């Protein structure tokens, strides 16, 4: 797991230096997700697909540096713990932001 910890720690540590690029990539993915909204696919369905895609991509990223699937599999618990912790932090921060800017983001005025 040291390889993954090092890789992810380095990526997380780079965020303040490269925050604009980080948020531009995120906004790009959100724009793509929004383009998937239609009468046949509501926000919940798109969010489910996006969550699945994020999990698939995260597993691919986490596998970098391993040469055997069996070694990668041994790190499953640590990989899941890392991504779960990161997702919880990001989700919490975004709930706080959305709640503070609810009217602006939803267009609902009281």
pLDDT tens per residue, range 8-58: 545 554 566 789 999 999 999 999 999 999 999 999 999 999 999 999 999
Q: Are residues 70 and 60 in the same domain?
A: no
Number of domains in the chain: 2
Q: Is residue 37 assigned to a domain?
A: yes
Residue 55 lies in domain:
16-64
Q: Is the pLDDT of residue 6 over 70?
A: no
The confidence band for 109, taking pLDDT boundaries of 50, 70 and 90, is confident
What does the alpha-carbon distance between residue 56 and residue 51 come to, in Å, rounded to a whole number?
9
C-alpha 79/C-alpha 39 separation (Å) is 36
For residue 6, being part of any structural domain is answered with no
Q: What is the pLDDT of residue 13?
A: 47
pLDDT of residue 16: 67
Tell me if 10 is assigned to some domain: no
Q: Percent of the chain at pLDDT above 70?
A: 85
Q: Is residue 41 part of a domain?
A: yes
For the entire predicted model, the pTM comes to 0.78
Looking at the fold, whether 50 and 83 belong to one and the same domain comes out as no
Tell the residue number behind the tokens 């489910």, with chain if given.
48
Domain match, 32 and 59 both? yes
């Amino acid at each position: 797991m040291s390889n993954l910890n090092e890789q992810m720690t380095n990526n997380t540590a780079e965020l303040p230096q490269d925050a604009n690029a980080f948020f531009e990539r995120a906004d790009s993915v959100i724009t793509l997700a929004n383009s998937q909204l239609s009468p046949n696919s509501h926000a919940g369905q798109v969010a489910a697909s996006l969550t699945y895609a994020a999990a698939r991509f995260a597993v691919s990223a986490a596998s970098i540096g391993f040469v055997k699937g069996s070694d990668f599999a041994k790190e499953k618990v640590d990989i899941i713990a890392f991504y779960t912790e990161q997702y919880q932090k990001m989700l919490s921060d975004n709930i706080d932001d959305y709640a503070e800017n609810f009217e602006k983001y939803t267009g609902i005025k009281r």
